[in-house]
């Protein structure tokens, strides 16, 4: 399942959910944008490749007004989570990894996470694999390189790393000569067991994006954080919701938090 979000002519936000097995046609006309099967010649079709089910946009009309991230689509172009797609005057965002909260009565409640084997509870944050449809806890999903389903191989880490970079965050695999390893720095999450040892070469590390903080965390520790325990000014859970839930406002950190108090005194 994938989602396209876009702004309508009246300024309101709209979202369109579609199944991967079903190609969708987009047709921009003077009055607006049509999604789904439309009469006449569509300008673009979203579908998946036969091999690896990679999402693609196909420009059927050869029109210069079909663009991905500002670049004209000649023939076809791969879509990634967060890609900005333009058809005519309409700009849409493509969403693939979508975060959802388990609700009372959700069919997910009868299922277990394939990674940690725990049954899903109300309030758990879950990401459904966009390629094979298998649900995972957010933390269990984001800490792995590929989808856990044998034969699926959805590239989680590659997609997540690119997404973090687009928001100015760094995810790196520590080399043996990394200063974090050399100086025996420990992960600031303070989890018993894993964080009692300093960082090791080969581990995947994320740095807090607050420029006054930049504390280092194991990837698996960071994705389960709320507020950064080192600076208390960057809410990781809020950031992840902003990049995995369509139509959530962008999250830029809590750096403004001190300003109003200073103004009062
Ligand atoms: Zn899990
Ligand atoms: Zn999968
Ligand atoms: Zn850690
Ligand atoms: Zn921080």
| Segment 235-258 mean pLDDT | 84
Given a cut of 70, is residue 179 above it in pLDDT? yes
The class level of CATH for 99-144 reads: alpha beta
pLDDT of residue 16: 74
State in Å: Cα 195 to ligand 3 middle: 5
State in Å: Cα 140 to ligand 1 middle: 5
Given a cut of 50, is residue 261 above it in pLDDT? no
Q: How confident is the model at residue 257 (pLDDT cuts 50, 70, 90)?
A: very low
**How does pLDDT run across 30-69, given as a tens digit for each residue?**
666 666 545 544 478 888 887 777 888 888 766 677 889 9
State in Å: Cα 156 to ligand 2 middle: 9
Return d(Cα 97, Cα 93) in angstroms, integer: 13
Return d(Cα 19, Cα 261) in angstroms, integer: 48
> What integer best gives the mean pLDDT of the chain?
85
State in Å: Cα 50 to ligand 1 middle: 30
Q: Give the residue with greater pLDDT, 46 vs 141.
A: 141
State in Å: Cα 1 to ligand 2 middle: 12
State in Å: Cα 238 to ligand 4 middle: 14
DSSP 54-123: -EEEEESS--TTEEETTEEPSSEEE--TT-EEEETTEEEEEE-S-EEE--TT-GGGG-B-TTT-PBP-TT
The class level of CATH for 2-95 reads: mainly beta
State in Å: Cα 97 to ligand 1 middle: 16
Domain ranges of the chain: 2-95, 99-144, 167-256
Residues contacting residue 194 through CB under 8 Å, at least 6 positions apart: 187, 218, 220, 221
State in Å: Cα 191 to ligand 4 middle: 16
Q: Left, alpha or beta for 180 (phi > 0: left; psi -120 to 50: alpha)?
A: alpha
State in Å: Cα 197 to ligand 4 middle: 20
State in Å: Cα 234 to ligand 3 middle: 17
State in Å: Cα 142 to ligand 3 middle: 14
């Amino acid at each position: 399942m994938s989602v396209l979000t876009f702004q309508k002519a009246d300024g309101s936000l709209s979202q369109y959910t579609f199944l991967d097995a079903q190609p969708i046609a987009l047709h921009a006309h003077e009055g607006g944008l049509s999604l789904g099967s439309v009469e006449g010649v569509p300008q673009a079709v979203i579908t998946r490749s036969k091999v690896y089910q990679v999402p693609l946009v196909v420009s059927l009309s050869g029109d210069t007004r079909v663009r991905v991230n500002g670049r004209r689509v000649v023939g076809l172009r791969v879509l990634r989570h967060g890609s900005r797609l333009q058809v005519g005057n309409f700009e849409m965002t493509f969403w693939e990894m979508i975060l959802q909260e388990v609700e009372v009565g959700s069919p997910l409640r009868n299922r277990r996470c394939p990674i940690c084997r725990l049954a899903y509870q109300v309030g758990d944050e879950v990401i459904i694999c966009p390629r094979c449809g298998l649900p995972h806890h957010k933390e269990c999903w984001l800490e792995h390189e590929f989808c856990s389903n044998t034969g699926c191989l959805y590239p989680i880490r590659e997609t997540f790393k690119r997404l973090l970079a687009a928001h100015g965050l760094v995810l790196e695999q520590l080399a043996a000569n990394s200063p974090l390893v050399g100086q025996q720095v420990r992960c600031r999450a303070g989890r018993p067991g894993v964080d009692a040892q300093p960082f090791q070469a080969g581990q995947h590390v994320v740095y807090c994006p607050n420029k006054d903080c930049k504390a280092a965390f194991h990837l698996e520790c960071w994705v389960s954080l709320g507020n950064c325990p080192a600076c208390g000014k960057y809410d990781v859970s809020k950031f992840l919701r902003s990049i995995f839930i369509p139509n959530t406002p962008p999250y830029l950190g809590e750096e403004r938090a001190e300003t109003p108090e200073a103004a009062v005194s």
